[in-house]
């Protein structure tokens, strides 16, 4: 488990260039001071973070777009993908054990429980509850993505 200061340091590195933009083929004016490129290992890790963040964004968008009127099967499948992609991003960043991750895990567990009991609850009650839980999960996942991948290109 990483400490809050370690997670903060990792996020700071990412925000300050961990997901650097691809070099342009156009000439640029030299800066006033010396510069050094990111080490290959840092650039590689940053690319992994950006790719993981993009995958998580796609999976959270898919979960949000699920038509609950068609049943909860699609929501279960989309939630599984969100959890897989969240794990991949958290591992790439090294944010295991952070408060943001704990919120996402709690949101996902609550949603999974509600989806599991969907057969025993009235459809309108289930749909409203599932939609509220999806919205909460979307908010927390979006905050995580914005926090760790702010420097990534869209």
Mean pLDDT by 10 residues, the chain (154 residues): 39 36 37 32 64 95 90 89 94 84 94 82 74 95 89 74
Whether the CB-CB separation of 101 and 144 falls below 8 Å is answered with yes
121 assigned to some structural domain = yes
pLDDT of 17 reads 37
35 assigned to some structural domain = no
Q: How many secondary structure helices (H) and strands (E) does the chain include?
A: 5, 0
127 assigned to some structural domain = yes
Count of the separate structural domains present in the chain: 1
91 assigned to some structural domain = yes
29 assigned to some structural domain = no
pLDDT of 72 reads 83
* Residue 114 structural domain: 4-18+40-148
Distance, CA of 149 to CA of 107 (rounded, Å): 21
pLDDT of 131 reads 92
Whether the CB-CB separation of 92 and 45 falls below 8 Å is answered with yes
Reading the block at residue 143, the tokens are 């905050």
33 assigned to some structural domain = no
Taking CA 89 as the corner, what is the angle to CA 24 and CA 82, rounded to the nearest 5 degrees?
Answer: 120
pLDDT of 123 reads 66
Reading the block at residue 17, the tokens are 């260039």
Whether the CB-CB separation of 144 and 104 falls below 8 Å is answered with yes
What is the H or E stretch that residue 145 is in?
helix 123-148
């Amino acid at each position: 488990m990483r400490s809050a200061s370690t997670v903060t340091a990792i996020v700071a590195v990412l925000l300050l260039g961990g997901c650097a933009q691809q070099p342009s083929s156009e000439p640029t004016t030299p800066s006033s001071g010396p510069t050094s490129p990111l080490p290959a290992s840092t650039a590689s890790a940053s690319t992994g973070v950006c790719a993981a963040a993009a995958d998580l964004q796609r999976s959270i968008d898919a979960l949000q777009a699920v038509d609950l009127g068609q049943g909860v099967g699609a929501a279960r499948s989309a939630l599984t993908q969100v959890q897989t992609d969240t794990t991949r991003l958290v591992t790439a960043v090294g944010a295991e054990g952070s408060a943001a991750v704990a919120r996402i895990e709690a949101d996902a567990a609550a949603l999974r429980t509600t989806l599991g009991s969907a057969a025993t609850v009235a459809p309108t009650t289930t749909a409203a509850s599932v939609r509220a839980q999806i919205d909460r999960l979307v908010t927390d996942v979006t905050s995580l993505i914005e926090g760790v991948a702010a420097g990534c290109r869209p």
